[in-house]
Amino acid sequence: MLLSAENVSKTFGSLRAVAGANLAIDEGEIIGLIGPNGAGKSTFFNCLAGDTLPTTGRIVFDGRDVTRASPEEHAELGVGRTFQVPATFEDLTVLDNVMVGAFLRHPHRGAAREHALQVLDLVGLGDRQNLRARSLGTPGRKRLEIARVLATGPRLMLLDEALAGLTPVELQQAIALVKKIHQTGVTLVIVEHIMEVIMTLAARVIVFNQGHVIAQGKPADVVRQEAVIEAYLGRGHRNWRKKD
Ligand SMILES: Nc1ncnc2c1ncn2[C@@H]1O[C@H](COP(=O)(O)OP(=O)(O)OP(=O)(O)O)[C@@H](O)[C@H]1O
Ligand SMILES: [Mg+2]
């Protein structure tokens, strides 16, 4: 097992955003994490990546208790995450943004640059390395956010709506990119409202509702479950393609 979350909760005042969530992730998996707006998916990612301290519960990564570890310690150990609102440095170039991630494993500037350029090629931003991040459109930003995390050399990548807001063509390219990243040996958890992404990429789907897991299993089985249709997909799959 690569990561396990046991009985993880996060409360904000009287709101239980995450309410006793359990999840076990094996190395090499692609897991889809779905659920309605406000279900606690991003907050759960925050807990898994050290961006917030869970109120209760325990998180173990690669045999180590990381419940109280900082985001930097998580990155060091190999847990990388993208943010729903991209955390790019707008005034830095595309290359410099990715070098920020690359410095984690390549302290020397030359090696960091080399590695960042390789990552930019992988994500298809090689020809835009000298542009300011702010000048990228939505698909470029999404790729840059993925590249920044990828450059830190994660074993586990948590993607929080990293494929949202793309045209159908861009979406297919982004799906291909995620497959490519998976093929390099990275384990992935993907939060996405676009069911097509989940059905195409995930071998296992976890459904969150009101802070905890209400269903999990193979995508085709999960989407037929009454509780999942009730809480998320809706009658006639009204949210099949996109939910905002
Ligand atoms: N820092 C915070 N302070 C107070 N409440 C918060 C905070 N962060 C999240 N919440 C609340 O916790 C609940 C879960 O939010 P979260 O962002 O984790 O949901 P989500 O499943 O990611 O939703 P979405 O699909 O819209 O991104 C929501 O009710 C949200 O308003
Ligand atoms: Mg969210």
Residue ranges of the chain whose pLDDT lies below 50: 242-244
Residue nearest to atom 18 of ligand 1 (CA): 40
* Cα 61 to ligand 2 centroid, rounded to whole Å: 22
Distance of CA 179 from the midpoint of ligand 2 (Å): 22
What pLDDT sits at residue 240?
53
Give the contacts of 54 (CB within 8 A, at least 6 positions apart).
8, 9, 10, 18, 47, 67
The two tokens of residue 230 are 């009730």
Ligand whose nearest atom lies closest to the CA of 207: 1
Q: What is the pLDDT of residue 87?
A: 83
Residue identifier of the C-alpha nearest atom 12 of ligand 1: 17
What pLDDT is recorded for position 233? 87
Ligand nearest to the backbone CA of 10 = 1
Cα(33) to ligand 1 centroid in Å equals 15
Q: How far is the CA of 120 from the centre of ligand 1 (A)?
A: 31
- Residue 20 CB neighbour total at 10 angstroms: 14
Long-range contacts of the stretch 211-217 (C-beta < 8 A, 24+): 211/9, 211/10, 211/16, 211/17, 211/18, 211/19, 211/20, 211/21, 211/39, 211/40, 211/43, 212/18, 212/19, 212/20, 212/21, 212/40, 213/21, 213/22, 213/23, 214/35
Residue 18, helix vs strand vs coil: strand
CA 27 – CA 187 distance, rounded (Å): 6
**What are phi and psi for residue 8, nearest 5 degrees?**
-80, 130
Residues near ligand 1 (Cβ within 6 A)? 12, 15, 17, 35, 37-43, 84
- Residue with CA at minimum distance from ligand 1 atom 29: 38
Residues with C-beta atoms within 5 A of ion ligand 2? 41-42, 84
Pocket test for ligand 1, best of 8, 9, 11, 12 (most atoms within 8 A of CB): 12
Q: What is the pLDDT of residue 16?
A: 97
| Neighbour order of strands in the sheet with 204-209 | 79-81, 156-160, 187-191, 30-34, 204-209, 212-217
pLDDT of residue 244: 44
What's the CA gap between 189 and 244, in Å, rounded? 20
Ligand nearest to the CA of 44: 1
Among 16, 41, 43, 210, name the best residue to mutate to test ligand 1's pocket (greatest count of ligand atoms within 8 A of Cβ). 43
pLDDT of residue 219: 95
Q: Which atom of ligand 1 is nearest to the CA of 45?
A: 18
**According to the model, what pLDDT value does residue 234 have?**
84
Q: Is the pTM of this model over 0.85?
A: yes
Q: Which ligand is nearest to the CA of 83?
A: 2
pLDDT value of position 188: 98
